[in-house]
Structure 1
Amino acid sequence: MLTTLLSLPTTLALDVNDEGRLLVLYDGTGTRQVNEVAPDGTWRALTDLDDTCRNARFVSGSRQVVVEHDTGGDERGQLSLLDLDEPLVLTPLVHDPAFKHGLVEVTADRVLFTTNRRNGTDFDLIAHDLATGDESVLYDGGGWPMTVDPSPDGKWAVLSLAGVQANSTQLLLVDATTRSVTELTPYDAQNDLKAVSWLPGSSGFVAASDADRDRMALRQYDVADGTWSDLLVDDEHDLAGWVCPDGEHLLVATIDDGLVPLALHRLEDAALVAPLDLPPLGCGARGMMMPDPIWSADGAFALITYHSPIEPPTVYRYTVATGEVVAMRRPGTPKVPAELEHPESHRVPSFDGEQVPVFVFRPTGPDLGSTVIHIHGGPEAAAMRTWYPVISGLAAAGHTVVVPNVRGSAAYGKRWYSLDDRELRLDSVKDLAAIHAWLPSIGCDPSRAALWGGSYGGYMVLAGLAFQPDLWAAGVDIVGIASLVTFLENTSDYRRATREREYGYLATDREFLESASPLSRVDDLRAPLLVIHGANDPRVPLSEAEQVTAALTKRGVPCKLLAYGDEGHGLAKLANKLDAYPQALAFLQEHVS
């Protein structure tokens, strides 16, 4: 079953041109490649690289495409030009393998991209002239613009930079002509902003913001008078919105305990027009790094990348006039196994009275009586009710899988995602102990419980095993952090600049960072451990995996490291997934089943 699930293809929407042609990322060949979907539903593969494509955009008014791609998962994106009327050969456009380039926007005459080539740490916003190759700097004021949203008329760009603490955002408004910068939110503001969406006339934009409240509301900014106003507020849920180019409508996402339904609203007063008829119990936006909805230029339809625990990421086309929602699947796409199930939602009381949201996937195969706690990365991300082939594979193998949103997770309010910051780091690990104590209430044997997680989730696996050695039977750590100190010392410069605000600063917080590191308690760690890591990981270096496995091997603790030379922060290539994850299931079969 696991091989079948891992092999099911996924599709992500990237762009649509004036002819109604779509650009999508499709991984049916084993890596994510750019495909074009014609209006008649015909698919055409545009790239066939050994490595993963990350993004692509049409050049307006032409048959050219700009593609962002990296090498071996190193995340150092390079930009190439593809002429669709010629043999499909990528021509270098912006290439410097030593640095990271991020595609922002492509028009008829220019490409906007971000790059850290100036000093390796800060990212500048650059305009590349397609006719001459000349480049002009639009912003070089420092920081890492996590997103850049140009206005429809090309005059403005909104930059979202990391703020003073985790999950805080500073918005800057850049004048593309004068390069003047207006601070829309202060650097030290303790609020987050996401999903900037410009009004058609470039007079302002809509953004999701939790300024002065616990949840993300939709707020509107007016460029002329520099004022913010509330557009749509829901005190119980986070919201996100995307303005329709027709100037009359707004697509609104409501994040509700891991679900993300979409609805069409009027832009003028945010009144509900109609919910979208997407499949139930899934996510139409804002889940697991999926693309946001993409409007056609005339606003007649939107492309939505939808997924759920029983459906891989799939592009749906939503037509405003009729309300019709149609899946844009590649012909011959295999069906998903019918036995997949949606999870249950629970709340777990923790050590201080807080309630930890968890999803429980019951075994769909013969019940082994074992439990796997699957912890998401981030930490300020969230486990959503989305496509997790590994989780479904664990359930099919007979495990009960518990997927928590421990404190520090997003999508449950500002207060919740702030409860693990800096000196509160180990409180999130205490949430794992609370989940362990709660397992008998859902019929699970706590003596046969294992931890599984990637990235920050990998840190949580190692921390659980090290700080709670009597609780856990085994662990699977994927690209996880063994030492917060060595992680910050050895991660990419641009990553360190943003991650210190979450974990603490090497210059001032080293003692705490050492005390909160699993490696500081590695002599207490005795549960068998499997570690999976990419050799080219620019976020969590391979040295994190090597040092923890070396320490356990020296003490005779069963452990194994699977390192992949052509991967980065996680496994992107199907061949490597089919090698690593069956070994991980066999490891659990041996130690907790």
Structure 2
Amino acid sequence: MKKYLLITAIALSPFTGHTSNIIKNDKIEEQNNCFTSIFENYDSWRGFLENKYKKRIKSEEKRLKKLSWFDSSFGEEKFNYYKNNLSCSTFKYFVDGNAVEGFVIKPKTSTEKLPILIYNRGGNGNYGGVVFGSMMHNLFPIANEGFIIVGSQYRGTFNKMAVNSDEFGGDDVHDVTALLDYVADIEGADTQRIGMYGASRGGMQTHLAMKKVTGIKAIATIAGNSDLLKGLEYRPKMENVYKKRIPDYEKNKISELEKRSVLSWVDELSPNIPILLLHGENDKRVSVKHSIHLAAALTEHKIPHKLVIYPDDDHGLRKNRESANKELVTWFKTNL
């Protein structure tokens, strides 16, 4: 099923639509409603994919199998529910001279101000970019529980004309922290209740961002990496990403990886900001040892935290997605 989700994600990016200014700030440009263009309704989205599959896949059986998976994973009823209950926009903002793509999701109706979650995506470059399918799968369920979610695609993603590219935890961390400049401009946002969470590489981004900002009351990571150097023993192929993304990597390998590894500076973490760690026991991309070792260090330094390991689950927590979402929602509702 994993390969089908990847194919679907590629087919959905990028999405465009009509203006929907969720963020009331003149520095934010090109705010576009997520639920327009091919995502205006479920049939147009499904039809777009069906036509794409017809061009690429000769076997009718395989095409039908993919469409069946698509319907079971998303579905018209779920699509319509989120369209009716959530506002969603993509937007462009500027950081260090870079035009960066972002997104914001919020419930349409609320009688009170809502807490804000800064979400940090995984992957690198365009790979892992947050597209409509991944929003609906991973973010809409959280926002629907009463949160405003704001996130960055990171510099260079979906932008061939970018001045600078993703440095995998380098200056691109500014793209995360810059989002805090705009949360007060979201109607109904409670700037006294801000949390941050990230998946995979986004866990690293979360810890790095926390070194630069104040006002975040709780954080969480999903399959986060905590020790990039040690992680090369678990997954040597990640060095290809580091060589491509991290400036001067060959000259400064150890120091650059330590900069990006929270275990190297866990003693600098605040004892007043609780941390939730979620991880699949059979994660082949980011070993569960990253979260286990970090939890041990947090205990040693008396930093409040909760570690949840899902037996027999993978990097995306596919078998326990609903349980993981409940953990996130409970964590942030309790701690914000």
Q: 1:354 to 1:299 in 2, by over 3 A?
A: same
Aligned to 1:523: 267
**2:89 alignment counterpart:** 344
Q: CA offsets per residue over residues 428-448 of structure 1, 9 Å max, x none?
A: 112222111221122434442
- Cα pair distance change 1:529/1:456, threshold 3 Å: same
Aligned to 1:510: 254
Post-superposition shift, 1:560?
A: 0.8
Among 380, 384, 400, the alignment partner of 2:131 is 384
Give the Å deviation of 1:591: 1.0
Where in structure 1 do 4 or more consecutive aligned residues deviate above 6 Å?
Answer: 296-305
Q: Describe the superposition over 1:300-328 as per-residue Cα deviations: whole angstroms up to 9, x where unpaired.
A: 999989xxxxxxxx839xxxxxxxxxx99
How far did residue 584 of structure 1 move? 1.4
Q: Deviations over 1:402-455 (max 9, x none)?
A: 12212253x222636x52336xx3211122221112211224344421112211
Within the alignment, does 1:538 sit opposite 2:284 as a pair? yes
Asked whether the 8 Å contact 1:372–1:401 carries over to 2, the reply is yes
Alignment partner, residue 205 of structure 2: 460
Letter in 2 for 1:551: A
> Between the two proteins, what is the percent identity of the paired residues?
22
Change (3 A) 1:255 1:563: closer
Match of 1:396 among 144, 148, 164: 144
Distance 1:254 1:388 in 2: 12
Q: Secondary structure at the match of 1:356?
A: strand
Residue 295 of structure 1 pairs with residue 54 of structure 2: yes
The residue correspondences of 1:192-341 to structure 2 (distance < 5 A) are 255-257=13-15, 278-280=38-40, 293-295=52-54, 315=67, 329=71, 335-336=77-78, 338=81, 339-341=84-86
The residue number in structure 2 matching 1:413 is 160
Q: In the alignment, what sits opposite 1:555? A: 301
Alignment of 1:57-76 (within 5 A): none
Question: Structure 1 residues 302, 403: CA separation in 2 closer, same or farther (over 3 Å shift)?
Answer: farther
Look up the SS of the partner of 1:583 in the other structure. Answer: helix
1:553 shift after superposition: 1.9
The equivalent of 2:24 in structure 1 is none
Cα distance between partner residues in 1 of 2:63 and 2:38? 9
Q: How does 1:53-202 map to 2 (within 5 A)?
A: none
- What letter matches 2:162 in structure 1? R
CA contact 1:462–1:477 (8 Å) conserved in 2: no
In structure 2, distance between residues paired with 1:486 and 1:298: 41
Counterparts of 1:498 and 1:529 in 2: how far apart (Å)?
27
Q: Is the 8 A contact 2:116 2:195 kept in 1?
A: yes
More helix, by proportion? 2
The residue aligned with 1:319 is none
Q: 1:501 aligns with which of 230, 236, 244?
A: 244
TM-score by length of 2: 0.73
3-state secondary structure, aligned to 1:452 = strand
Aligned length: 297
2:224 and 2:286 in contact (8 A); partners too? yes
Corresponding residue for residue 193 of structure 2: 448
**Kept in 2: contact 1:433–1:471 (CA 8 A):** no
- Partners of 1:469 and 1:525 within 8 A in 2: no
In 1, Cα distance between equivalents of 2:309 and 2:276: 11
Following superposition, the deviation at residue 475 of structure 1 comes to 1.1
One-letter code aligned to 1:293: K
Q: Mind listing any 5+ residue stretches in structure 2 that lack a counterpart?
A: 18-36
Point out the structure with max Rg over C-alpha. 1
Q: Deviations over 1:85-130 (max 9, x none)?
A: xxxxxxxxxxxxxxxxxxxxxxxxxxxxxxxxxxxxxxxxxxxxxx
Structure 1 residues without counterparts, runs of 5 or longer: 1-31, 33-52, 56-146, 148-239, 241-252, 260-276, 306-313, 317-326
Deviations 1:217-264 (A, max 9, x none): xxxxxxxxxxxxxxxxxxxxxxx9xxxxxxxxxxxx7954568xxxxx
Aligned counterparts of 2:61 and 2:101: Cα–Cα separation in 1 = 32
Shift of 1:370: 0.9
Partner of 1:108: none
Classify 1:368/1:284 alpha carbon distance in 2 versus 1 (closer, same or farther; 3 Å): same
8 Å CA contact retained: 1:474, 1:528: yes
Determine if contact 1:408/1:428 at 8 Å carries over to the other structure.
Answer: no
Inter-partner Cα distance in structure 1 for 2:310 and 2:50: 27
Whether 1:579 aligns to 2:323 is yes
Structure 2 residue aligned with 1:207:
none
Does the C-alpha gap of structure 1 residues 519 and 407 become closer, same or farther in structure 2, counting only changes over 3 Å? farther
Other-structure match for 2:114: 369
Point out the structure with the larger strand share. 1
Displacement after TM superposition at 1:537 (Å): 1.5
Q: What is the CA distance between 1:385 and its match in structure 2?
A: 2.4
8 Å CA contact 1:536, 1:568 repeated in 2: yes
1:549 & 1:469 partners in 2: Cα distance? 22
CA distance in 2: counterparts of 1:433 and 1:524, whole angstroms: 18
Instruction: Kindly indicate whether the alpha-carbon contact (under 8 Å) linking 1:368 and 1:399 is maintained by their aligned counterparts in 2.
Output: no
CA distance in 2: counterparts of 1:368 and 1:453, whole angstroms: 23
* Pairs within 5 Å for 1:484-499: 484-491=228-235, 493-499=236-242
Distance in 1 of aligned mates of 2:290 and 2:252: 22
Q: Is the CA contact (8 Å cut-off) linking 1:357 and 1:406 kept in structure 2?
A: yes
Return the offset for 1:510: 0.9
Greater length-normalized contact order (CA 8 Å, ≥ 6 residues apart): 2
- How far residue 565 of structure 1 moved from its aligned partner, in angstroms, is 2.1
Q: 1:293 to 1:361 in 2, by over 3 A?
A: same
Q: Check whether the contact 1:292–1:304 (CA below 8 A) recurs between aligned residues.
A: no
